[in-house]
Chains A and B, each alone.
Chain A
Amino acid sequence: MPKTLAEKLWDSHVIRKEADGPELLHIDMHLVHEVSSPQAFEGLRLAGRKVRRPDLTLATEDHNVPTLNVNSRISDPISRLQIETLRKNVDDFGITNHKLGTTRQGIVHVIGPELGITQPGMTIVCGDSHTATHGAFGALAFGIGTSQVEHVLATQTLLQVRPKTMVVTINGSLPEGVTAKDLVLNLIAHTGTGGGQGYVVEYRGQAIEELSLEGRMTVCNMSIEWGAKAGMIAPDEKTFAYLEGRDFTPKGDDWDKAREQWRELRSDPGAIFDEEIILDGAQMAPFVTWGTNPGHGVPLSARVPSPDDFDTPAERDAARKALDYMALQPGTRMKDISVDVVFLGSCTNSRIEDLREAANVLSGRKIADGIALLVVPGSVAVKMQAEEEGLDQVFLDAGGEWRGAGCSMCLGMNPDQLKPGERCASTSNRNFQGRQGVGGRTHLVSPIVAAATAISGRLSTPADLLTKG
């Protein structure tokens, strides 16, 4: 029987099947951060349980760490207590933690791949919905809740009902100026925010193959934004080239053995998916959101939609509420929308390639008057690499701020927040009401659109900067 990639990954990790349906999966790597773990460790203590495999568990501090003065005491006492709690928990249970202020700290979904801990064929979980990022390497990776974090800590397994499978094929090549972020925003506008519910999705096709690993991570990262349980891409030579020589990737004979196994990790010809979506990448355009969920997207060249454009009463009502919250009038050109803040960062778009592309647009230019540009690298390693390449100076010379690593303004758990009524062009993943700060208004964009928007002060592509002189 031909198998899909998802089925191969699933089947190779099943320990046992329960009589009433779910299967017990072995977890190859459990990533932990400060927000979704404290109650799980407390649960272990109350039950007198240990962490079964501290050697397959890796922690870092990312969600509510400050991005300024990272070597000082955290000023917010509640955030500080949460970080201190993680440090006590990892000490008590023998887990490695990449602390704030050390060279391997960063957003959990950025450090896994850059350390080479994320590898093809693995099962990876984390108490974080953007865990599907790691699927870009041909891993089965998904987000879990705190009860499941406790279950994985105690057993290194997870009980799961086998999901349905879907394949998303993006044919053709993306046009110049259209990025992985635009691709996934196009897709989510097509499916709606719940269209992937219950599915593990495999992305394939020419446009996907042509993406760098960073681009593939951006696409897989946003799988959850259309409701999918996980997203994945079959590993290829680009994947192997990305991984070779990283700290935790196999070396010598093991590297050859591993690659031989990884080459098997693709859907067999004739494998049957439960669902299929086919889109033409060559027809895609730079995309931006206008509303309050990631499915509320339009081409940047389009206008703000009217509630009347939607099919159902529920959608019309949601659009009305979204426009009201976003303070937008139907028919306004997206490119006429002015912003106050530009955020370049998050587990979706804070890797070195994202920073290089944005810096390339900003180089030799100044951001518009009254605009704040916040650049937050995804990890300390990305920050150091960017500084070696002089990218930090490009951002600073343009008038931006160059910060320490963390989740930052993606979700505003640290001091990096929008003020009520502020409008932001953001390279993050969610435009939910209040996500970046109470009353804040978010437009999701790619790194190059973020950079161009910072320069013009209005939602713009790099090409718009040239036509307007």
Chain B
Amino acid sequence: MQKFRVHSGTAAPLAISNVDTDQIIPSEFLKRITRTGFEDGLFAEWRREPDFILNLPEYKGFSILVAGDNFGCGSSREHAVWAIQDYGIKVVIAPSFADIFRGNSGNSGLLVAETDVQFVNQLWTALEANPRTLVTVDLEARIVSFEGKSAPFVIDDHTRHLLLNGLDEIQNTLSHADEIIIFEGSRPSWRPVVGQ
């Protein structure tokens, strides 16, 4: 996984609450077995509308998405995160994120920055007035800034650590294999096992 420290780029406003994973990527795209190439599935239905943000030339090349609260609600599909990344988006800013989506983002290297709703509103206003507004997200300092305004964002320490260092969590867990073995010895023998 790539390390993430600071990202600066243009941003697009998606002023909608409860954006669900079926909108981020419809289930049709989930039949694929690859890990990349999902950019065509991102907001596939909404993209049919000519005035959807992904189709507006003024936001072309944006790398930060600014969305409403409870972004990513619905299914556990990590394809939603992959589609966002494959499209070229590095950061999603919103007042809140659905839990599974937040976890998937951290594990796949997408930064989701939770900021307060007033700041998101200010950012939407600025982006509508000037689509080329430069937004900077500093993970080290946990700060989002634009046009001289800034606000802290919330991210848990562990996910921040993984992103800053581009770490593989599985390798870290496997280094504690001895503790896993000891724990497994205490599992009640009557708990179910399958096959084998």
A193 and B26 CA atoms in complex are apart in Å by 19
Q: In the complex, are the beta carbons of B158 and A119 less than 8 A apart? A: no
B33 is an interface residue with CB less than 8 A from chain A: yes
B56 is an interface residue with CB less than 8 A from chain A: no
Q: In the complex, are the beta carbons of A197 and B27 less than 8 A apart? A: no
B31 is an interface residue with CB less than 8 A from chain A: yes
Mark interface residues in A139-170 (1 if CB within 8 Å of B CB, else 0).
00001111110110011110101000000000
Number of contacting residues on B, CB 8 A? 59
Contacts of A235 in B (CB 8 A): none
The A32-57 residues at the B interface (CB cut-off 8 A) are 35-36, 38-39, 42-43, 47, 49, 52, 54-57
Contacts of A117 in B (CB 8 A): 192, 194
Stretch at the interface among A16-24, A212-220, A264-272, A383-391: A16-24
Contacts of A317 in B (CB 8 A): 16
Q: Knowing A36-B76, A430-B22, say if A58 contacts B194 (CB, 8 Å).
A: yes
The 8 Å CB contact of A197, one of B28, B32, B70, B74, is B70
The 8 Å CB contact of A29, one of B75, B184, B192, is B192
A116 and B194 CA atoms in complex are apart in Å by 11
Contacts of A151 in B (CB 8 A): 107, 169-170, 173
Contacts of B149 in A (CB 8 A): none
The 8 Å CB contact of B31, one of A18, A161, A194, A413, is A413
B105 to chain A, nearest CB (A): 9
A115 to chain B, nearest CB (A): 8
B111 is an interface residue with CB less than 8 A from chain A: no
A430 and B27 CA atoms in complex are apart in Å by 13
B23 to chain A, nearest CB (A): 6
Q: Knowing A96-B194, A129-B75, A314-B68, say if A197 contacts B98 (CB, 8 Å).
A: yes
Q: Knowing A24-B173, A42-B35, A194-B69, say if A412 contacts B27 (CB, 8 Å).
A: yes
| Least CB separation from A413: chain B residue | B27
| Least CB separation from B182: chain A residue | A15
A419 and B195 CA atoms in complex are apart in Å by 41
Contacts of B78 in A (CB 8 A): 36, 39, 145-147
A161 and B35 CA atoms in complex are apart in Å by 26
| Least CB separation from B191: chain A residue | A28
Stretch at the interface among A75-83, A363-371, A457-465: A75-83
Contacts of A15 in B (CB 8 A): 176, 179-180, 183
The B138-196 residues at the A interface (CB cut-off 8 A) are 156-158, 161, 169-170, 173-174, 176, 179-180, 183-184, 187-196
B20 is an interface residue with CB less than 8 A from chain A: yes
Q: In the complex, are the beta carbons of A314 and B96 less than 8 A apart? A: no
The 8 Å CB contact of A145, one of B70, B74, B81, B183, is B81
Q: Knowing A151-B169, A318-B18, say if A227 contacts B188 (CB, 8 Å).
A: no
A127 is an interface residue with CB less than 8 A from chain B: yes
Residue from A43, A57, A82, A194 with most neighbouring chain B CB atoms (10 Å): A194
B6 is an interface residue with CB less than 8 A from chain A: no
* Interface CB pairs A-B, < 8 A, 10: A26-B180, A35-B77, A122-B191, A127-B76, A129-B75, A143-B75, A145-B104, A193-B18, A314-B68, A430-B22
Give A residues with C-beta under 8 Å from B. 15-16, 18, 20-22, 24, 26, 28-29, 35-36, 38-39, 42-43, 47, 49, 52, 54-58, 63-64, 76, 78-79, 81-82, 85, 94-96, 116-117, 119, 122, 127-129, 143-148, 150-151, 154-157, 159, 161, 193-194, 197-198, 224, 227, 229, 248-250, 254-255, 257-258, 261, 293, 314-315, 317-318, 411-413, 430, 432-435, 438
